Amino acid sequence: MSRAAHIRSTLRHPSFRMAMVDMAGTSVGIGAWGLVTGVVMVKSGLSVGMAVFMSLVVYAGSAQLAVIPLMAAGAPLWVVWLTASCVNLRFVIFSSMWRSYFAHLPLRQRLALGYFSGDVIYVSFMQRFPEPRPQPEQVPYFWGAATTNWLAWQVPSMVGILLANVVPLSWGLGFAGVLALLGVLLSLLFDRATWLATGVAATAAIAAFALPLKLNILVAIAAAVAVGLLIEALEKHRQHPDVVLVPPKAALPPEEKRRVAAGDEVPLREEEHP
Amino acid sequence: MNWDWIAPAVAILGLAVITVISRAFFMIPERELPLPDWLKRGLKYAPLAALTAVIAPEILMAQGELITTWMDARLPAVLCATGYYFWRRGILGTIVVGMAVYLPLHIGLGW
């Protein structure tokens, strides 16, 4: 298929539109965040041209916000790059999950997917496709979500860059971005382990806030992962597995094999009497 | 000829490369790098923790310190937004409710 035909078929796929609808709610918060980032870039001393360039080429809100004060203060290049690398480390973790879905695509596409992926699209995608298996509708879905996200960010960001001196930051408009992330976060909470992991992450992030290079994010991730695994282990310990009678010659279906491996079930094979 | 723009442009290009590589990191090698099972299970908590780590300081801290007063517009805004979310489960509504509580308190009362 030619490139144009390929693009057309992606755009027309129903998953593309479904993704746009899924991302509609968060787009407002992302827009607020983009707007604030645009304003901050220009107010910190970046020229309008450079700010536009940064917004289009980097497309990473938290990294941009972390690095702009450093660039304004004339920090050396390696400090700027190291800071961005640390702030972005959570994306390295996310990419191990992206691999399960997109490993079969050519390298250039995988890199393009990389440019477009972010916190919100990661969470939405994982909720839509919880099984880490590649499926054909995932690629159009990703592009639908990526396009929506990209526009929702870049357009307000450009507005912020151009109108930096007119937008009143003192109104706290950036808080809408925090609320959007809050909404996404709440959608991930469903059991005791997730609530506790969140509490631990919040405590760790605040306690370690003084660490440079936004390393508090990594500390929070490590603490939350540890707590999550601990709670899972404790709950497993308390659970009593089901005992299931299995006929003498039957083979276990894969679903049951998985339950046995996870410790939820103990198969008891019936004796065969001649 | 003014060459001042070169330094920030180089910095920005480097940032772009770093960002794409971070986001595509585990997708770059052709073969899968083996991760232990417990790590795969644990990493499910990573996005949750990352989001929390980004917003918790934005809600509960001011000037690099934990906030000391209850009269902060962010607190009732977050509580109302959370309540709305568990009532209606819509992200757009969550943002609207939160801002509806936050803006009057922040701009009007200076909380």
Over residues A48-57, the pLDDT tens digits come to 999 999 999 9
Residues A222-266 have pLDDT tens digits of 899 899 889 888 887 777 777 888 887 777 787 778 777 777 778
Does the pLDDT value for residue A183 go beyond 80?
A: yes
Other CB atoms closer than 10 Å to residue A133's CB: what's the count? 9
**Tokens 């801290």 — which residue?**
B61
Q: Do B57 and A182 touch (CB under 8 A)?
A: no
Residues 60-79 of B with CB under 8 A from A: 60-61, 64, 66, 73-74, 77-78
Give the integer Cα–Cα distance in Å for A200 and A193.
10
Among the partner residues A46, A92, A217, nearest to B22 by beta-carbon distance: A92
Helix A77-87 and helix A61-72, axial crossing angle in degrees, nearest 10 = 160
A40, A168, A184, A204 from A45: Cα distances, Å: 9, 17, 32, 33
Helix (H) or strand (E) holding A265: strand A265-269
Our CA-based measurement puts residue B1 at a distance from the nearest CA of chain A, in whole angstroms, of: 17
Query: In A, which residues are within 8 Å of B94 by CB distance?
Result: 25, 179-180, 182-183, 186
Which of A65, A119, A178, A196 is best to mutate for the B interface (most B CBs within 10 A)? A178
Which 8-state DSSP code applies to residue A32? H
Other CB atoms closer than 10 Å to residue B76's CB: what's the count? 16
Give the integer Cα–Cα distance in Å for A134 and A136.
7
pLDDT of residue B1: 59
**Tokens 């496709």 — which residue?**
A129
Query: Which residue, B73, B23, B65, B90, is CA-closest to A27?
Result: B90
Q: Do A178 and B55 touch (CB under 8 A)?
A: yes
Query: In B, which residues are within 8 Å of A92 by CB distance?
Result: 22-23, 25-26
Give the integer Cα–Cα distance in Å for B1 and B3.
6
A122, A124, A270 from B27: Cα distances, Å: 14, 19, 47
Q: Do A185 and B52 touch (CB under 8 A)?
A: yes
Does the pLDDT value for residue A156 go beyond 80?
A: yes
Side-chain-side CA neighbours of residue A105 (13 Å):
21
A232: buried, middle or exposed (CB in 10 Å: 19+, 13-18, 0-12)? middle
pLDDT of residue B17: 95
Helix (H) or strand (E) holding A238: helix A215-238
- Number of helices (H) and strands (E), helices first, in chain A? 13, 2
The ipTM assigned to this model is 0.83
Q: Which pair of structure tokens corresponds to residue A259?
A: 């339950």
Query: Which residue, A156, A183, A153, is CA-closest to B92?
Result: A183
DSSP string, B15-76: HHHHHHHHHHGGGSSSSPPP--HHHHHHGGGHHHHHHHHHHHHHHHEETTEE---S--THHH
Answer left, alpha or beta for residue A74, where phi above 0 means left and psi between -120 and 50 means alpha: left
pLDDT of residue B53: 86
pLDDT of residue A1: 59
Bigger pLDDT: B64 vs A192: A192
User: 3-state class of A222 per DSSP?
Assistant: helix
Report the largest interatomic distance among the alpha carbons of chain B, rounded to a whole angstrom: 61
Query: Which residue, A11, A22, A12, is CA-closest to A145?
Result: A22
pLDDT of residue A201: 93
Give the integer Cα–Cα distance in Å for B29 and B34.
12
* Average pLDDT for A127-132: 85
Give the integer Cα–Cα distance in Å for A51 and A43.
10
